[in-house]
Structures are given as structure tokens and as C-alpha cells.
Structure 1
Amino acid sequence: MIDRILLSLLCIVLAGCGQQWTDQRGGQVQETDLQGRWMVVNYWAEWCAPCREELPELNALAEVSDQVIVLGIHFDAYEGEELRALSDQMGIRFAVVGHDFAEAYGLNLPQVLPTTYIINPQGKVAHSLQGPQTERDLLALLPIEGADND
């Protein structure tokens, strides 16, 4: 009887944990922290000039509201120290996760860079945007309280 109770508790605990991904600085991005929030997921590369133009806009967006989280994915799939150094060099202040994050959310590897996916609080892709975006344009697509989305 006690074994069944312990097994049930373990299943509940494990089910509540969800997936997690490691960002460029070794931090953990937890699936449970993303639930109920809008996500802006941006594919970028250092050799992409429009990506470089767009990164300050994404940095600004990341600071707008706790209701939205900005995540980056390096197109060429750098990891570890190489990704951290590159992200720092590029001035990226938001979390950059790996291609395993994209797979978990069913995001296709883009044909154009930059590409930005907006994922709604239910975890579904609401918008797929090609080319550089501005903070203002992205806010207009995000129905979040307290943000200037005119």
C-alpha cells in the first residue's frame, strides 16, 4: 500500500516538473515557467545583418512585461561556452536555448533569418514572422496588460 502511495506521489511530482532547457549562461528555462505566458522565439545568427539590427529590439521587448518571455535560438546550433561567448559579444540579454526547445514546440527550422515565432499562452504558434521585427510591431501582436500595444 505504501509503495503505491509513494509511486503515485512520484508520478505527480515528475508530471509537474515538465521539460527544461539550458540557456547560454547555464540557467534553466522551465516549461512550467512558460505556461500561461506569451513567448517570442527568435532564430538568429551572427552572420545575419538583419538579425544584428533586430537584437536590441528583442532586448527591449524582453524587459516590457512579465507576461511575455523572449527566447532566442542560434540558427547554427552553437552550444555551451561558444554560445555564451557569442551571445555576450552580440549583447543578447534574453535567454538563448537550443534546437531541442524548437522541437518541443513544433517550430520549423526557418528558411529566412531572422524568423520570429509568437507562441500563445496555450503553447501554440500564433504568428510566424520573417525578417527583422521591432519592439513596437511585436507588442502590437501581443495582447498583454500594461503594454503599449497601439
Structure 2
Amino acid sequence: MFKRLLAATAVAATLLLAGCGNDYGVDQHGEKVASERLDKQWKVINYWAEWCGPCRVEIPELNALEGQLQGQSVGLFGVNFDGLQGKELNDASTALGITFTVLAQDPADTFDLPRSEALPVTYIIDDKGKVRAQLLGEQTAAGILAKLKELKG
């Protein structure tokens, strides 16, 4: 009887641990964002809004950055400052030409991000989940890549 209980407990623990990983919700297209895309890798998280002029200028740079980050264990993610969801988030992302993943669920609590009242704001988070940089204002792909190199080096 004890062996069965022990075996059942082991199976339950394995199933629970297999499901571990943070829940990052869905993206602007309603697709689930797998925890593997954010956990245990560096992250660049950019907050934007439709009404933010510098955000609109910065988005093509971020789109270019996404391609340059391929194969580097760094993910690029956007977050709508106004908390748009569903169709509104998709429409805003499409209107601004965003091609990188936009998280519908704000990860600020998960990564202990300070709330910024200025936009755009970009955070660089290391593979352990620690905020390593807060970049205020419009960024360039080259500038973010240089900052990543500096922080990782």
C-alpha cells in the first residue's frame, strides 16, 4: 500500500513539475506564448502605444532587431502600454506594422519591471529574469544590440 502511495505521489509530482514555467498568456494573434520563449533566455521587452509618436518611429527598428536576434537566445517582445486586448490589440499591432510578438498579458509583475510614465521604454532582462537595463526613449536596433553585447560580455 505504501509503495503505491509513493508511486502515485511521484507521478503527481512529475506531472506538476512538467507543467512548470510561467504563463505568459497569448500574443496579439490570440496564440499561446510558450514559456520556453521567455524563460532561461535574455529578453528585450518594449512598451508602446498607438498615440506615442516616438513608438511609431521605433517600431521599424524593433522589427529589424527581431531578425538580427535569430539564433542568439534573446527574445523580443512588445507590450501595449494601454493594456489593449483581443481584436483591439491585434488591430493596433497591425496598424503600426509590428511583426514581433506582442504579449497581451503584461509581464511587469513576473519580471518586477518598474512602471514607466514615459514611452517608449525598453527593458533588457537576463536569462535569470533580472532586469539589467531600462532604456527610455526611442531606440535603434544597433543600440539595443550594442547594449546586449555589453551586458552579456
Report the TM range for the smaller structure's normalisation: 0.7 to 0.9
Q: Tell me: CA distance 1:124–1:41, structure 2 relative to 1, closer, same or farther (3 Å).
A: same
Where does 1:21-40 land on structure 2 (aligned, <5 Å)? 21-40=25-44
- Corresponding residue for residue 76 of structure 1: 82
Provide the rounded CA distance (Å) in 1 between the counterparts of 2:13 and 2:37: 20
Contact kept in structure 2, 1:39 and 1:71, CA below 8 Å: yes
Cα gap change, 1:9/1:143 in structure 2, threshold over 3 Å: closer, same or farther? farther
CA RMSD, aligned part only?
1.8
What residue identity is the alignment partner of 1:141? K
* CA distance in 1: counterparts of 2:8 and 2:106, whole angstroms: 31
Contact 1:43 1:110 in 2 (8 A): no
**How far has the Cα of 1:31 moved from its partner?**
2.3
* Higher-Rg member (1/2): 2
Stretches of structure 1 lacking an aligned partner (at least 5 in a row): 145-150
- The residue that corresponds to 2:134 in the other structure is 128
CA offset at residue 117 of structure 1? 0.2
The structure carrying a bigger strand percent of its residues is 1
Measure the CA separation in 2 of the matches of 1:32 and 1:11: 20
With structure 2 as the length reference, what TM-score do the two structures score? 0.85
Match of 2:94 in 1: 88
Q: Which residue in the other structure is 1:19 paired with? A: 22
Local SS of the residue matching 2:116: coil
Identity of aligned residues (%): 40
